[in-house]
Structures are given as C-alpha cells and as structure tokens.
C-alpha cells in the first residue's frame, strides 16, 4: 500500500496505525508563528470502532490500509457466519459475529449492505439506512388510536425490539431507521 503524508490526511482516508486499520475523521494543522508544525489527527479504529486522537509531526507518513467498502447482498446465516455476495462477481464472503456487530438486528435476506473488507476479509457490516421488517410479537393494536399517544415494544423478525405506535399490529411490516433504531412508518402490503 502507498504511504500517506500528514498533508494527504483527509476525512475517510484509511491508514494503518499501530498495526490496526483506521479511518481518518479529521486533521487539524497546528503551528505557532514561530515553532514547529504538527497535525492533530482524529481516527476511528475500524476493528474496535474506538475514536482516538494522535499528534504527528507535519510531514510524517502512515501506511495506507487495504480497506474497501463494497455493496453486497446479504444471503443467510448458518448461526456462526453471515454470508454476503458481491452482485457483479457472485463472490461470497463470510463475516463473523464481530464483523456483523450491531448490524445483526437489521439483516434481512436479499437486502443490500455495505461490507467493509480489510485485506479482502469482512471487517464491518453496515445495514441499509432503512429496512422493512415484519413484527412477530407485540401487544394487540388499539383501534382508532392512529395519531398521537403512547408507544409499545414490538419484536421484529430479526429479533430486534423497537418502539411502535399503539395502533400497529403483529404481522404488519414496518420501516425502521437502522441508524437510530426508530420506527418510521407502516408499510402497506
């Protein structure tokens, strides 16, 4: 991989820091009028998700990380691994529970997901921003209560539990924002 100097550090650039793949979040140039120049860099460790700040001398370099994001179709899980397929080559990748992480709650077969590959292997999975999932368990709906009012928990086909309005019934399909885990609307079938 190429080496990148602090001048090339832009948000989104993937680099190796202490042997771990990281994504640069921001890069602040620090230099007193008289004195040496530094770069204060915030990075996210792509394995742990941890955000870290480190200072470099301006002009220092880091090795690029072999990290790419690909849109892939989620196929199925065998309980141990989750399988994704590249749409053009039909190549399949297996992601472990660590790579799937929180995305687990939102994976629906056939849905397109963003899979981050590190040295060719899945490192992280990002579900689509919105997914449509069926409610498998919730208290019976209250007729007529369509506008405001309280909410109740509902269990989705993936096992995730979200808060839904009182009028929503078991067996209905709802749209959820996967970034916040919030109910959006009912999907008419």
Binding site for another protein (CB under 8 A): 7, 28-38, 40, 52-58, 60
CB nearer another protein, residue 21 or residue 122: 21
Q: How far is the CB of 124 from another protein (least distance, A)?
A: 23
Q: How far is the CB of 6 from another protein (least distance, A)?
A: 10
Place of tokens 């849109």: 71
**Residue nearer to another protein on the CB measure, 14 or 93:** 14
Distance in Å, CB of 189 to another protein, minimum: 47
Determine the 3-state secondary structure of 99 from DSSP. Answer: helix
| Residue 65: closest CA among 19, 5, 126, 11 | 19
> DSSP labels for 13-64?
-EEEETTEEEEEEEEEEE--SSS--EEEEEEEETTT--EEEEEEETT-EEEB
Could you tell me the maximum CA-CA distance found in the chain, to the nearest angstrom? Answer: 72
Q: Are 152 and 164 in contact (CB under 8 A)?
A: yes
* C-alpha–C-alpha distance, residues 123 and 45, integer Å: 11
**Total length of the chain:** 189
| Unique residue bearing structure tokens 């370099």 | 61
Tell the smallest beta-carbon distance from residue 30 to another protein (Å).
Answer: 5
Identify which of residues 50 and 175 has a Cβ nearer to another protein in the complex: 50
Q: Which is nearer to another protein, 56 or 183 (CB)?
A: 56
Residue 65 Cβ, how far from another protein at the closest point, in Å?
A: 17
| Residue 62 or 168 with smaller CB distance to another protein | 62
């Amino acid at each position: 991989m190429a080496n990148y100097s602090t001048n090339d550090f832009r948000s989104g650039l993937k680099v190796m820091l202490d042997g771990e793949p990281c994504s640069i979040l921001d890069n602040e140039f620090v230099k007193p009028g008289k004195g040496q120049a530094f770069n204060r860099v915030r990075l996210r460790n792509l394995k742990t998700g941890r955000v870290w700040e480190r200072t470099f001398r301006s002009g220092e370099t880091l090795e690029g990380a072999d990290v790419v994001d690909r849109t892939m179709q989620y196929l199925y899980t065998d309980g141990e691994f989750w399988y994704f397929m590249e749409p053009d080559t039909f190549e399949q990748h297996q992601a472990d529970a660590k790579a799937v992480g929180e995305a687990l709650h939102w994976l629906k077969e056939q849905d397109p997901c963003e899979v981050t590959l590190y040295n060719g292997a899945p490192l992280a999975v990002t579900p689509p921003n919105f997914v449509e999932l069926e409610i498998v368990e919730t208290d019976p709906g209250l007729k007529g209560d369509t506008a405001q009012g309280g909410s109740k928990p509902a269990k989705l086909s993936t096992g995730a539990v979200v808060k839904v309005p009182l009028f929503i019934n078991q067996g209905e399909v709802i749209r959820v924002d996967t970034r916040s885990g919030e109910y959006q609307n009912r999907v008419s079938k």
